Amino acid sequence: MQKGYLVLENGTVFTGELLGYRGEAQAGELVFNTGMNGYQEAMTDPSYAGQILVFTYPSIGNYGFGDYGFESEKPHLQGLVVKEKADLNGHYQSRWNFEEFMEKYSLNCLAGIDTRKLTRILRVEGTMGAVITHQPEPLDELLKKAAAGRALIETDLVSRVSCKETAVYGEGKTRIVLWDFGSKKHIIAALTRRKCQVIAVPASTEAESIMALEPDGVVLTNGPGNPEIYTGLIREIKKIIGRVPLLGICMGHQLLALASGASTFKMKFGHRGANHTVKDLRNGKCFITSQNHSFAIEPASLEGTGLAASFTNLNDSTIEGLYHHSQPAFSVQFHPEAAPGPQDTEFIFDEFIHMTAKFSPGPGL
């Protein structure tokens, strides 16, 4: 067993077993996920780029890892922290056990620590920088690295995880452009199941290039980092509001709000897991949702934007959905393609496709 350490920005040090380590300390923003399953989907979710992920569920890896669990081509995490690594490989389609998966993707993991205690620190003090390393000294240098890890969320992580070239998925009469800021594969799958042709384009694509593809609708996807730093992207999104139906998911929800003139704020420890309850303000129905985000919409900033809340979080009252009063655009903070029910909020995609069918562009558009 190789001994390892997790050094938090506040000076707290946890000791455990290192897996997948390649001899270089890895820093990132330390966040926790409360899901009881779906660990491979979480580990390969591009929205975790720049972060060290802590699983609160005590045993991770008990049904193995396989081709069925990828949300992107590989993990984009800075590191992983678990209480217990399971040596089981229980899924009939599993190809790798826990340690094999860590080794395959050179993913720094610290196992065998008290994740309950660690999560309580993050809930009280908020997310912070941390570093996974094979030696706990010199502490001053490690604390500087931890602080630098927290700052990663303020850098351009979208360019790291967005697709590099245009790709087409599925066939159908409804053409959807997926503006990829770090999209999960199951968003594409949810659309192709509904007989859509999905054209995924890089985050750097300009608005006029997207409109030249003659889409019936545009999806603004999830992605990592602070949405407010993507000023160029916000400017391009603003150019297509009202010209084509828009659906924003997770970061796409935040970017739609920013492009409409609203603002966002960083949450104390965010929402990450498959057990977040939201209320549909249109009909009073409640849903359990999957979420992964650090930022939320500032409610007071919606005034004058044309946007209004459509969903709210029943735990902390944050905005979980928006709709535009006069333009064909709406968004959700949660992930409708990852509903833990397992369908629950997939109707969001049906509402979007219905919107594309009804939309008629105005003169000159």
Interior/surface letters 267-287, b for 16+ CB within 10 angstroms, e for the rest:
eebbbbbbebebbbbeeeeeb
What is the pLDDT, as a whole number, of residue 364?
Answer: 43
Looking at the structure, tell me whether residues 117 and 226 fall in a common domain. Answer: no
Helical (H) or strand (E) element with 360 = none
Contacts of 128 (CB under 8 A, 6+ apart): 8, 9, 10, 29, 30, 122, 146, 150
pLDDT of 365 strictly over 60:
no
What is the pLDDT, as a whole number, of residue 117?
Answer: 98
Q: What is the DSSP string of 13-29?
A: EEEEEEES--SS-EEEE
SS (H, E, C) 106-167: CCCEEECCCHHHHHHHHHHHCCEEEEEECCCCCHHHHHHHHHHHHHHHHCCCHHHHCCCCCE
Looking at the structure, tell me whether residues 134 and 227 fall in a common domain. Answer: no
The mean pLDDT of 26-42, rounded to a whole number, is 96
- Report the percentage of the chain scoring pLDDT > 90: 92
Find residue 61's DSSP bridge partners. none
217-251 pLDDT tens trace: 999 999 999 999 999 999 999 999 999 999 999 99
Instruction: State the pairing for strand pair 329-332/319-324.
Output: antiparallel
Looking at the structure, tell me whether residues 225 and 133 fall in a common domain. Answer: no
Helical (H) or strand (E) element with 169 = strand 167-169
**Residues with catalytic roles:** 250, 335, 337
pLDDT of 258 strictly over 60:
yes
What is the pLDDT, as a whole number, of residue 362?
Answer: 56
150-176 pLDDT tens trace: 999 999 999 999 999 999 999 999 999
Q: Is the residue at 365 inside a domain?
A: no
Range of the domain at 84: 2-154
Interior/surface letters 33-54, b for 16+ CB within 10 angstroms, e for the rest:
bbbeebbbbbbbbbbbbbbbbb
Q: Are 220 and 250 in contact (CB under 8 A)?
A: no
Looking at the structure, tell me whether residues 263 and 352 fall in a common domain. Answer: yes
Looking at the structure, tell me whether residues 14 and 112 fall in a common domain. Answer: yes
343-354 pLDDT tens trace: 899 999 999 999
* Residue 276 binned pLDDT confidence (cut-offs 50, 70, 90): very high
pTM of the model: 0.96
Looking at the structure, tell me whether residues 269 and 170 fall in a common domain. Answer: yes
Looking at the structure, tell me whether residues 120 and 184 fall in a common domain. Answer: no
Helix (H) and strand (E) counts for the chain?
10, 19
pLDDT of 101 strictly over 60:
yes
Looking at the structure, tell me whether residues 276 and 297 fall in a common domain. Answer: yes
Q: Are 110 and 1 in contact (CB under 8 A)?
A: no
The count of structural domains within the chain is 2
Looking at the structure, tell me whether residues 328 and 185 fall in a common domain. Answer: yes
Please identify, among 125, 154, 183, the residue that sits at the C-terminal boundary of a domain. Answer: 154
Q: Is the residue at 238 inside a domain?
A: yes
Is 25 exposed, middle or buried (CB count within 10 Å of its CB: 0-12, 13-18, 19+)? Answer: buried
Rg (C-alpha) for the chain, rounded Å, is: 20
Q: Is the residue at 174 inside a domain?
A: yes
Looking at the structure, tell me whether residues 287 and 335 fall in a common domain. Answer: yes
Query: Phi and psi at residue 232, in whole multiples of 5°?
Result: -65, -40
Q: Is the residue at 51 inside a domain?
A: yes
Q: Is the residue at 363 inside a domain?
A: no
Q: Is the residue at 28 inside a domain?
A: yes
Q: The domain spanning residue 74 has which CATH number?
A: 3.50.30.20
Q: The domain spanning residue 312 has which CATH number?
A: 3.40.50.880
Q: Is the residue at 364 inside a domain?
A: no
What is the pLDDT, as a whole number, of residue 22?
Answer: 77
193-204 pLDDT tens trace: 999 999 999 999
Please identify, among 137, 154, 171, the residue that sits at the C-terminal boundary of a domain. Answer: 154
Looking at the structure, tell me whether residues 13 and 97 fall in a common domain. Answer: yes
What is the pLDDT, as a whole number, of residue 363?
Answer: 47
SS3 215: coil
Looking at the structure, tell me whether residues 118 and 210 fall in a common domain. Answer: no
Q: Is the residue at 177 inside a domain?
A: yes
Which has more pLDDT, 22 or 232?
232
What is the pLDDT, as a whole number, of residue 361?
Answer: 75
Please identify, among 113, 139, 154, the residue that sits at the C-terminal boundary of a domain. Answer: 154
